[in-house]
Amino acid sequence: MPLSINEIEKLIKESIPDAQIEIKDLMGDKNHYSATIKSKLFNNLNKIEQHKLVYKSLKGKMGNELHALSLITKGI
């Protein structure tokens, strides 16, 4: 079962409470998304570390319920 934008935002906010999140459904299929996420937690982390934080927040759903997520992460 695919994940909705609201479900993705909820999972990210649980791990990254100050996250400012903008998600777009790229194909209209609730399976291919693009997300821009800004957080103070990303300050002083490189892009790989930032993306790992986001993927960890998705609790194993990436590659299962969520097929594709393109990430842009930024510190605040």
pLDDT of 70 higher than 90: yes
pLDDT of 61 higher than 80: yes
Burial, 16: exposed, middle or buried (Cβ in 10 Å; 0-12, 13-18, 19+)? buried
Dig out the tokens for 67 from the structure: 């097929």
pLDDT of residue 62: 87
pLDDT per residue as tens digits for the range 6-51:
999 999 999 999 999 999 999 988 889 999 999 999 999 999 999 9
Which pTM does this prediction carry?
A: 0.90
Secondary structure (3-state) at 27: coil
pLDDT of residue 39: 98
User: Comparing C-alpha atoms, which of 36, 49, 45, 40 is closest to residue 8?
Assistant: 36
Dig out the tokens for 19 from the structure: 């996250």
Helices (H), 2-62: 5-15, 47-57
User: Model confidence at 67, in pLDDT bands (50, 70, 90)?
Assistant: confident
**Phi-psi sector, 40: left (phi>0), alpha (psi -120 to 50), beta:** alpha
Query: Domain residues of the chain, as ranges?
Result: 5-75
CATH number of 5-75: 3.30.300.90
